[in-house]
Amino acid sequence: MKRQSTSNIFATNRKASFDYALLDRFEAGIELKGAEVKSIRDGKINLNDSFVRIDKQEAFLHGAHISPYKQSGPFAPDPIRIRRLLLHKSEIAKLNGITAQKGYTIVPTKVYFKKAKVKIEIAVAKGKRFFDKRQKLRERRIEREMQRSLKSQR
């Protein structure tokens, strides 16, 4: 019998969707050491201010913080080390071509488990301007006010 999991997402990068317009999304595996998987299961991962860089036909995750697992002892890996992402060569070539253009970057958006493997969703992103962010905040405020007025009319 297949077990359904509704909360298999362990981390999201909400700041990325606010600061960037997210275009294409890719699913990648992530190379982890030791007890980092257990730490991720505990929700001890932070994707804020992290990004993906492509060097020598390989993709690397920079700036992600995975706190050391308590029971791992003194041999825990560095929490902010650079981690390799597992992608197909064609996907890496596509990402490399897109990010060669000015203004595009790759940001991680989610970390989740899929069939007992840690996966990370990365997105090609283009930076938003300040007025775009203000417009989005204004839209959210208007939506909240409409919801409140509908709720009070009932």
| CATH number reported for the structural domain that contains residue 83 in this entry | 2.40.280.10
* pLDDT value at 6 more than 70: no
In a domain, 78, yes or no: yes
d(CA 103, CA 128): 10
In a domain, 86, yes or no: yes
In a domain, 115, yes or no: yes
* pLDDT value at 132 more than 80: no
In a domain, 139, yes or no: no
In a domain, 70, yes or no: yes
Q: Are strands 104-114 and 117-127 parallel, antiparallel or unpaired?
A: antiparallel
Tokens 């920079």 found at: 62
* pLDDT value at 36 more than 80: yes
The tens digit of pLDDT for each residue in 45-94 reads 999 999 999 999 999 999 999 999 888 888 888 899 999 999 999 999 99
Mean pLDDT across 142-147: 92
* pLDDT value at 3 more than 60: no
Which residue, among 32, 54, 49, 41, has the nearest Cα to 9 in the 3D structure?
41
| Strand residue runs (E) in the chain | 9-12, 20-30, 45-46, 51-55, 58-62, 65-66, 83-86, 104-114, 117-127
In a domain, 122, yes or no: yes
In a domain, 116, yes or no: yes
* pLDDT value at 111 more than 60: yes
The domain of 52 spans: 9-128
Q: How many domains, the chain?
A: 1
Quote the pTM value.
0.78
Where residue 7 falls among pLDDT bands split at 50, 70, 90?
low
Q: Are strands 117-127 and 20-30 parallel, antiparallel or unpaired?
A: antiparallel
